[in-house]
């Protein structure tokens, strides 16, 4: 296929006040018509900059300093600004990440879409509006003729993104660039949008550049993939080849850091030590060398050249991993157990604060984990985890069984019993009138044994955060009990509140917002101890130093401010602050959602280690099913305030009974192209209904492919399926309950 | 950070010079500001009177110094008082929220609808003013905007994650207010207080210009302009410009300082 | 939209009611005999008149009753009687209020027409010579007291250059409209300070909006810089200006009072000042109520303009994923002198935070979640 878009040796710089950021350092790509190229990388890798460079929409101070970009016969880099304005929106369309802020709040969506048409096709207002309605229908918006005069704030997130896509497509572009189009959306909506883009690509024969950090999305929707790191492309391949046979160490490391890879082996996640390099002063030689476990001296001195492996697989590495393919020059490579690898992570970490990476350094076989499948061993054969097959599964199941049994013996620690939380919605200028009630949590019950992890998973608005806040004491339940070690902490006196504060702590999603920006780390960490009046000053100082060491931060952190740390380090601080009072239960509310994959792996590993060491119990709240599956012993799936399924993690994940759970599992993108394409396309349809007036009977029925009349009349109770512990609330579940299992009078939690 | 801002340095220097001029000046440059000297009236600038004399024979330069003392004192004191009142009111309203907040803020709304000068004039017409009373009157009419500002801060700070985190740790409301909300609001309060000084000076000067401020023989810059207005037809420019320019310089200097303070408080939080 | 309007009207009514209470408190706070103060010093010698006054206004009854009586008088249009001018306050208002409204109206209109383009120009050519010049000028005019500016203008244009008369038009409203030459200097005086304030706000609002995401989307559609500015950014930038207008009305009225005094322009402000000089309380208090009502009405109009510009505030709708209701967080505090923009209404999260962006040297609101 001839390439429609060609990028040759692109260099882009951004001038800051005192330095220059080399955002893109020699990127070459090509995309053919009808093909989808995925550009994947972590934050700071330059993938967004590449997309913006193609559109020549660089932020202030940004310029293309070298290279060529051509679209069909036009050389984009040589155009003047006026000519470029003719190209934008016309031959190239772009979809941005956040549809709420990317749409003009004071213009109707019809006008915004029509603007594109009027600019490039010289159409009259009426014609342009007609085209807008037509395109809205194309992107799957219901009743487009009515909605065309709506404003962006009247639409939901998924609808807004459809509007963005419609805007980009209005003039039938040859190339569509999508920059993280689904990151801000719920996972079920995400699938709808991605499928929409795929369908449109095939129908209109466009080329698509899909920029994202999510490997699962790439696996399911990209034909070819380019992996970027620090402004360069480190590997390009067909999607299927990339995931089964990555050649560049960075790609391999990324794949190994994914929770879904490690979940089956129950091993530790591989985490990439250190930080991405500072692009104002990039290191010489291979940019990944400081963090690469296979790096040698040659890597740090000279840049690796482009090597080909097969006709469409390219990478830049002196010592690639993976199996040799035909035509591969195959330079010699040191094995992962090579002693050199041990010294690599310690060298040249970009930031002194990370020198004490401590717990998380992966050094060959020194890494001991319950599963025994150390990352080094698994990587030798290529893709992580997948080759392990049945033995790993059984091993994992055994482990969980052992852990669960041990936990069950220690007895129940936290029990949530028929908790209901309603929020009143008020409105009115002079006096606040009640205009409705939001049913945020509707009769939820579950239990956690000591030392286990319970994962609460669901999309936005399902009530999982509210449950976290109820347990921690930030809200009072409207009815129901929350029992901690037998004591009802929902109805409490002041004294009890202090006791609860010592036993239960919260880890926030955004640690930066949860720490007073004017306080130094030392004061922040001291605060829980000061409130509890725990120990003398000297003891407290010692505790602080100890806990910093445990979470892998240097002792010098005490004098710094929170804003001086990176995202991952701040999460460590959050964890440290939660731990310092010696709690028994930690509620972690989306602790890793805002982090890059490699940092995520560090934090998850840290949480696991600390759990083992201190005997902690975790309530892990997340929307990311793969992370929850990796961390949790038992899972609870919530939808619109109701617990629809609960049970041991493997049982829920491998043998789901509730259609919503199955839908979630199907829609979560996994980093395996074969599995992705084999997925059923049904998934979950439609939009989330309002929480003020939830659907009668079963709340999921409006989006359920199996819904029938009974579902609207009667609310389904929780019934057991594969075991007493595995329960789901559905009239027409996906599997038959095991005969002989009696519905437990009270729902139970983890432990098969 | 504050000191790096060139305009701030300029502002501080200017203010220091003006304060020195007004408060220390009369020590070195003696003039009689009490007794009318009708033989010397309306002299243009020249020997003995660098800025000439006004309609009552007072030396303009000396009057500029002495008048400045009153303008500055009233401005500063009124601003401090207004900030204190406004902060208290706004903090209580913002922290407690609900009915308390509604009632308190509706009152502020109502008072705000009456333009400052109108309200001040009514009060001044009821109680002939002394310097202390002027301070009170101006403070009582300017605390409103401060209270709105602080209430907004209190409302937003109350729901900040770090306040919630502290509650999870078992912290009390008192701790929330003193350890977290107040220090984070200090920046806003200080910046607002700075601008209040400028506002207060402008208000007291306006009152005196209208003849309802400080009574003679005391005067301030506004009073000087009052007597100066009658003589513009005669072209006695020296009776008008010095006071006006002095006011402008002071207010500009305060604005520079306020802007720089605002920069320095926020940058510290934004620096990553 | 209707719901929004009704809410605002109710709020306005409550505010006006509170104003009457405040005025009543002021009335009762008058030192000495209230009756004498209201009726004038001459009445001191006439005890019958004083007694009649006390009866009519219920001064022998509890306070609350007095207030209600007084409120009743107000509602009937009886704002009192000015003993200095020997006219009822309402008739005084009838003849003088229109002049003030005209002065303020023309000044504000001119200020808007001049300030907005200047602000836009400054934002587009930020940190250039134009920007610095206008910023310095704004600082200057914002710091200069209104009466000083007026005096200087009279000195230059009237005394020295003899272009305009030294006083404002002395006749009725129709004279003002036909004899606009003499009105020029007062309007310019009042407008200059307003221009200084509004141009700085426009500048920071436009600068903020230029960095918003939707501008990037518009450019991605192929819109030119000019189109982006006029069709996208301007409308969004006018939103905080509408709010600012409502908030700065009291200040503008105070400025009008001063301007009228400088130019001897017989509007309501000038009359009020004269009344204050002579301790004519009925006039003062009556005028206060009316000026407060004028300010409230002005704010209401500004809010309506705001609702026209910003569609988000017209609809209160709750979306499933953001079930926290859109609280109408209308900005209330007049920002300190300088460039702090107004907060957008109808924020969909509970934690908006205004912070200083050193890059664009301006304030910007963002959601801190």
Q: What is the pLDDT of residues A661-671, one digit of tens each?
A: 988 888 888 87
Cβ distance B242 to B51 under 8 Å? yes
Contact A472 B168 (CB under 8 A): yes
Subunits with at least 3 CB pairs below 8 A relative to chain B?
A, C
Q: What does the alpha-carbon distance between residue A83 and residue A60 come to, in Å, rounded to a whole number?
A: 20
Cβ distance B119 to B113 under 8 Å? no
pLDDT in tens, C210-249: 888 899 999 999 888 888 888 899 988 888 888 888 888 9
Is the pLDDT at B168 greater than 50? The verdict is yes
Residues of B in Cβ contact (< 8 Å) with C248: none
Cβ distance A567 to A487 under 8 Å? no
Residues of A in Cβ contact (< 8 Å) with B271: 563
User: Which among A501, A505, A513 has CB closest to B161?
Assistant: A513
Considering the entire predicted model, what is its pTM? 0.78
- Looking at residue A208, its pLDDT comes to 94
Interacting residues of C150 by C-beta distance below 8 A, sequence separation 6+: C185, C186, C189, C258, C259, C262, C263
Residues of C in Cβ contact (< 8 Å) with A161: none
Residue with the bigger pLDDT between B37 and A418: it is A418
- Looking at residue A741, its pLDDT comes to 65
Residues 306-345 of C with CB under 8 A from A: 309-312, 315-321, 323, 325, 328
- Counting one residue from chain A and one from chain B, the pairs whose CB atoms sit within 8 A come to 62
**Reduced to 3 states, what is the DSSP secondary structure of residue A624?**
coil
Q: With an 8 Å Cβ cutoff, is B162 touching chain A?
A: yes
Contact B164 A514 (CB under 8 A): yes
Q: What does the alpha-carbon distance between residue A50 and residue B60 come to, in Å, rounded to a whole number?
A: 69
pLDDT in tens, chain C (369 residues): 777 788 888 888 889 999 988 888 888 887 777 777 777 777 767 777 777 777 776 666 777 777 887 888 888 877 777 777 778 888 888 888 888 998 999 999 999 999 999 999 998 888 888 888 888 888 889 888 888 888 888 888 877 777 777 777 777 677 667 777 778 888 999 999 899 989 988 988 888 888 888 999 999 998 888 888 888 999 888 888 888 888 889 999 999 999 998 888 888 888 898 888 888 888 888 898 999 999 999 988 888 888 888 887 765 433 332 322 222 222 323 233 333 444 443 343 434 455 544 444 445 555 543
- Looking at residue A178, its pLDDT comes to 94
Q: What does the alpha-carbon distance between residue C120 and residue C117 come to, in Å, rounded to a whole number?
A: 5
User: Which among B162, B179, B271 has CB closest to A515?
Assistant: B162
DSSP A147-168: HTT--GGGS-HHHHHHHHHHHH
The residues facing A95 across adjacent strands are A178
A573-to-A122, A511, A532, A542, B194 alpha-carbon distances in Å: 57, 8, 19, 16, 37
- Looking at residue A435, its pLDDT comes to 66
Q: What does the alpha-carbon distance between residue B217 and residue B26 come to, in Å, rounded to a whole number?
A: 16
User: Which among A89, A101, A690 has CB closest to C222?
Assistant: A89
Å between A88 CA and nearest CA of chain C: 4
Strands A634-639 and A453-457: parallel
Contact B228 C151 (CB under 8 A): yes
Q: With an 8 Å Cβ cutoff, is C216 touching chain A?
A: yes
Residue with the bigger pLDDT between B58 and A252: it is A252
Closest residue of chain A to C3, computed from CA coordinates: A428
Cβ distance A587 to A556 under 8 Å? no
Q: Which two tokens stand for residue C342?
A: 């107004």
- Looking at residue A374, its pLDDT comes to 33
Contact A104 C214 (CB under 8 A): yes
Cβ distance B217 to B33 under 8 Å? yes
Q: With an 8 Å Cβ cutoff, is B175 touching chain A?
A: yes
Using CB atoms within 10 Å of the CB of residue C231, give its burial: 0 to 12 exposed, 13 to 18 middle, 19+ buried: middle
Contact B106 C15 (CB under 8 A): yes
Contact B115 C257 (CB under 8 A): yes
User: Which among A87, A89, A98 has CB closest to C213?
Assistant: A98
Q: Which residues of chain A have pLDDT under 50?
A: 326-397, 429-430, 744-752
What number is the ipTM of this complex?
Answer: 0.83
- Looking at residue A732, its pLDDT comes to 86
Q: What does the alpha-carbon distance between residue C89 and residue B4 come to, in Å, rounded to a whole number?
A: 57
Residue with the bigger pLDDT between A173 and B59: it is A173
Q: Which helix (H) or strand (E) holds A449?
A: strand A433-449
Q: Which residues of B88-99 are buried (b: 16+ CB within 10 A; e: fewer)?
A: ebbbbbbbeeee
Strands annotated E in chain C: 81-82, 87-88, 352-357, 362-367
Q: What does the alpha-carbon distance between residue A171 and residue B50 come to, in Å, rounded to a whole number?
A: 75
- Looking at residue A210, its pLDDT comes to 94
Residue B95 DSSP class: H
Subunits with at least 3 CB pairs below 8 A relative to chain C?
A, B
C53-to-B46, C23, C70 alpha-carbon distances in Å: 60, 18, 12
Helices (H), A371-513: 375-379, 389-410, 464-472, 494-503
Interacting residues of A240 by C-beta distance below 8 A, sequence separation 6+: A673, A674
Task: Calculate the average pLDDT of chain B.
Answer: 82
Contact A186 C321 (CB under 8 A): yes
Q: With an 8 Å Cβ cutoff, is B159 touching chain A?
A: no
| Cα–Cα nearest to A36, from A219, A308, A307, A258 | A219
Question: Best mutation site among A183, A427, A466 for testing chain C: the one with the most C CBs within 10 Å?
Answer: A427
Q: Which helix (H) or strand (E) holds A210?
A: strand A207-212
């Amino acid at each position: 296929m001839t390439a429609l878009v060609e990028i040759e040796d692109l260099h882009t710089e951004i001038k800051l006040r005192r330095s220059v950021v080399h955002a893109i350092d020699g990127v070459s790509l090509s995309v053919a018509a009808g093909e989808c190229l995925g550009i994947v990388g972590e934050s700071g890798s330059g993938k967004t900059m590449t997309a913006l460079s193609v559109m020549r929409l660089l932020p202030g101070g940004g310029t293309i300093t070298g290279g060529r970009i051509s679209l069909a016969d036009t050389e984009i880099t040589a155009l003047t600004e006026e000519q470029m304005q003719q190209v934008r929106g016309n031959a190239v369309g772009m979809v941005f990440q956040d549809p709420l802020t990317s749409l003009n709040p004071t213009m109707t969506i019809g006008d915004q879409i029509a603007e594109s048409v009027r600019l490039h096709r010289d159409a009259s207002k009426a014609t342009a509006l007609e085209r807008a309605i037509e395109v809205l229908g194309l992107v799957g918006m219901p009743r487009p003729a009515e909605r065309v005069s709506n404003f962006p704030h009247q639409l939901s997130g998924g609808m807004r993104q459809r509007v963005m896509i419609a805007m980009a497509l209005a003039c039938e572009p040859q190339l569509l660039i999508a920059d993280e189009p689904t990151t801000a959306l719920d996972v079920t909506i995400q699938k709808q949008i991605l499928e929409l883009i795929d369908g449109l690509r095939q129908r209109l024969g466009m080329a698509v550049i899909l920029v994202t950090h999510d490997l699962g999305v790439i696996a399911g929707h990209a034909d070819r993939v380019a992996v970027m790191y620090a402004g360069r492309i480190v590997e390009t391949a067909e999607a299927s080849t990339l995931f089964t046979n990555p050649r560049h160490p960075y790609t391999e490391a990324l794949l190994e850091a994914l929770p879904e890879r490690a979940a089956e082996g129950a091993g530790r996640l591989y985490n990439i030590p250190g930080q991405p390099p500072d692009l104002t002063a990039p290191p010489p030689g291979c940019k990944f060398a400081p963090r690469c476990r296979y790096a040698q001296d040659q890597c740090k001195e000279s840049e690796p050249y482009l090597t080909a492996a097969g006709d469409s697989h390219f990478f830049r590495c002196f010592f690639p991993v993976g199996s040799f393919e035909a035509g591969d020059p195959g330079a010699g490579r040191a094995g992962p157990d090579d002693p050199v690898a041990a010294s690599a992570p310690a060298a040249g970490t970009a930031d002194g604060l990370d020198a004490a990476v401590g717990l998380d350094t992966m050094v060959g076989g020194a890494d001991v984990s319950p599963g025994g499948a150390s990352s080094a061993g698994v990587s030798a054969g290529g893709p992580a985890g997948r080759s392990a097959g049945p033995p790993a599964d059984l091993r994992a199941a055994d482990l969980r069984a052992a852990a669960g049994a041990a936990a069950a013996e220690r007895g129940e620690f936290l029990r949530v019993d028929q908790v209901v939380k309603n929020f009143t919605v008020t409105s009115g200028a002079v006096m606040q009138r009640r205009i409705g009630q939001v049913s945020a949590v509707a009769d939820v019950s579950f239990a956690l044994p000591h030392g286990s992890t319970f994962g609460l998973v669901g999309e936005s608005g399902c009530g999982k955060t509210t449950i976290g806040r109820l347990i921690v004491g930030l809200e009072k339940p409207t009815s129901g009990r929350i029992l901690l070690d037998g004591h009802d902490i929902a109805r409490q006196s002041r004294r009890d509140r202090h006791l609860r504060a010592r036993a239960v702590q919260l880890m926030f999603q955004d640690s930066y917002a949860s720490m007073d920006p004017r306080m130094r780390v030392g004061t922040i960490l001291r605060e829980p101890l000061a409130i509890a009046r725990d120990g003398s000053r000297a003891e407290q100082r010692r505790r602080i130093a100890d806990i910093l060491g445990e979470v892998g931060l240097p002792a010098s952190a005490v004098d710094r401010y929170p804003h001086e740390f990176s995202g991952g380090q701040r999460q460590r601080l959050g964890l440290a602050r939660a731990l310092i009072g010696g709690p028994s239960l930690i509620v972690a509310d989306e602790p890793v959602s805002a982090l890059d994959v490699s940092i995520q792996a560090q934090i998850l590993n840290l949480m696991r280690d600390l759990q083992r060491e201190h005997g902690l119990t975790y309530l892990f709240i997340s929307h990311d099913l793969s992370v929850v599956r990796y961390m949790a012993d038992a899972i609870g799936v919530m939808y619109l305030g109701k617990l629809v399924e609960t049970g041991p993690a493997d049982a829920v994940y491998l043998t789901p009974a509730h259609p919503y759970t199955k839908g979630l599992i199907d829609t979560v993108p996994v980093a395996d192209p074969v599995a992705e394409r084999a997925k059923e396309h049904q998934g979950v349809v439609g939009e989330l209904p309002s929480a003020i007036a939830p659907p009668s009977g079963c709340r999921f029925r409006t989006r359920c492919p199996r819904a029938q009349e009974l579902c609207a009349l009667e609310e389904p109770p929780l019934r057991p399926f594969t075991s007493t512990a595995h329960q789901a609330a559905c009239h027409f579940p996906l599997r038959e309950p095991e005969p002989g299992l009696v519905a437990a009078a009270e729902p139970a939690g983890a432990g098969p | 950070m504050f000191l790096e801002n060139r305009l701030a340095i300029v502002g501080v220097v200017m203010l220091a010079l003006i304060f020195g001029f007004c408060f220390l000046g009369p020590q070195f440059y003696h003039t009689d500001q009490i007794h009318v000297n009708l033989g010397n009236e309306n002299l243009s600038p020249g020997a003995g009177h660098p800025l000439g004399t006004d309609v009552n024979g007072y030396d303009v330069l000396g009057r500029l110094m002495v008048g400045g003392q009153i303008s500055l004192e009233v401005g500063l004191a009124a601003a401090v008082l207004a900030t204190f009142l406004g902060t208290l009111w706004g903090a209580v309203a913002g922290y407690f929220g609900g009915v308390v907040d509604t009632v308190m803020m509706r009152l502020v709304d109502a008072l705000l609808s009456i333009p400052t000068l109108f309200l001040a004039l009514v009060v001044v017409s009821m109680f002939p003013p002394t310097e202390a009373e002027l301070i009170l009157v101006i403070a009582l009419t300017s605390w409103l905007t401060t209270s709105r500002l602080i209430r907004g801060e209190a409302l937003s700070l109350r729901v900040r994650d770090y306040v919630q985190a502290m509650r999870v740790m078992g912290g009390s409301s008192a701790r929330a207010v003193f350890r977290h909300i107040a220090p984070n609001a200090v920046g806003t309060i200080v910046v607002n207080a700075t601008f209040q000084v400028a506002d207060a000076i402008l208000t007291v000067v306006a009152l005196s210009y209208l003849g309802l401020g400080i009574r003679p023989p005391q005067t301030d810059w506004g009073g000087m302009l009052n007597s100066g207005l009658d003589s513009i037809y005669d072209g006695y420019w020296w009776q008008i410009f010095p006071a006006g320019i002095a006011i402008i310089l002071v207010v500009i200097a305060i604005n520079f300082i306020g802007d720089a303070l605002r920069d320095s408080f926020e940058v510290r939080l934004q620096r990553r | 939209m209707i719901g929004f309007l009704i809410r605002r009207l109710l709020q306005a009514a409550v505010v006006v009611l509170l104003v009457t209470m405040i005025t009543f408190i002021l009335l009762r706070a008058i030192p000495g005999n209230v009756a004498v103060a209201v009726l004038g010093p001459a009445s001191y010698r006439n005890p019958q008149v004083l007694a009649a006054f006390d009866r009519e206004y219920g001064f022998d009854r509890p306070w609350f009753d007095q207030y209600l009586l007084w409120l009743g008088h107000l509602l009937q249009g009886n704002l009192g009687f000015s003993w200095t001018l020997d006219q009822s306050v309402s008739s005084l208002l009838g003849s003088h209020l229109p002049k003030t409204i005209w002065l303020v109206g023309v000044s504000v209109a001119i200020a808007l027409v001049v300030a907005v383009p200047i602000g836009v120009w400054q934002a587009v050519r930020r940190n250039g010579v134009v920007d610095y010049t206008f910023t310095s000028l704004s600082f200057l005019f914002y710091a200069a007291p209104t009466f000083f500016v007026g005096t200087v203008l009279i000195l230059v244009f009237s005394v020295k250059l003899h272009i305009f008369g030294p006083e404002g038009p002395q006749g009725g409203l129709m004279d003002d409209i036909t004899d606009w030459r003499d009105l020029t200097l007062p309007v310019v005086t009042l407008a200059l300070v307003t221009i200084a304030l509004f141009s700085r706000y426009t500048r920071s609002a436009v600068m903020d909006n230029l960095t918003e995401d939707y501008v990037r989307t518009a450019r991605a559609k192929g819109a030119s810089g000019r189109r982006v500015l006029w069709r996208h950014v301007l409308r969004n930038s006018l939103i905080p200006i509408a709010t600012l207008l409502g908030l700065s009305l009291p200040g503008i009225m105070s400025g009008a009072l001063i301007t009228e005094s400088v130019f001897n322009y017989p509007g309501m402000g000038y009359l009020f000042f004269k009344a204050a000089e002579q301790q004519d309380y009925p006039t003062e208090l009556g005028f206060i109520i009316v000026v407060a009502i004028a300010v409230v009405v002005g704010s209401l109009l500004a809010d309506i303009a705001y609702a026209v510009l910003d569609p988000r505030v017209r609809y209160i709708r709750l979306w499933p994923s953001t079930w926290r209701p859109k609280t109408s967080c209308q900005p209330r505090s007049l920002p300190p002198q300088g460039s702090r923009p107004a907060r957008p209404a109808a924020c969909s999260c509970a934690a908006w935070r205004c912070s200083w962006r050193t890059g664009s040297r301006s304030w910007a609101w963002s959601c801190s979640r």
